[in-house]
Amino acid sequence: MEEYKLGGSFPKLSYKNLKTLKHALQEYLKREGISENDKKSEQALLLKINDEIKLMRERYRF
């Protein structure tokens, strides 16, 4: 499985952008008929987004 990191080749995202993505992905994960593979990969992405949000909170102290 290929490893993706936020920041790398992705555009820089603001804290607000990351929070919006987080909430959108949380809702998207609730959809009916989600495959197990999609669920796993989307949960992994959600964890990475949460990690990036945590880093920004620590870095910018908010």
20-56 confidence digits (pLDDT tens): 999 999 999 999 999 999 999 999 999 999 999 999 9
Q: Is residue 35 included in any domain, yes or no?
A: yes
Is 51 contained in some domain?
yes
Is 56 part of a structural domain of the chain? yes
Residue at 3 is within a domain: no
Domain span at 34: 15-60
**How confident is the model at residue 9, as a pLDDT?**
53
pTM of the model: 0.79
Report how far residue 9's alpha carbon sits from residue 32's, in angstroms, rounded to the nearest whole number.
31
Whether 19 is covered by a domain: the verdict is: yes
Phi, psi of 61 (to 5 degrees): 55, 55
Domain assignment present for residue 53? The answer is yes
Predicted confidence band at 62 (pLDDT cuts at 50, 70, 90)? confident
* Contact status, residue 53 vs residue 6, Cβ threshold 8 Å: no
Task: Tell me whether residue 4 is in a domain.
Answer: no
Q: How many domains does the chain have?
A: 1
Phi (first) and psi of residue 18, to 5 degrees: -65, -40
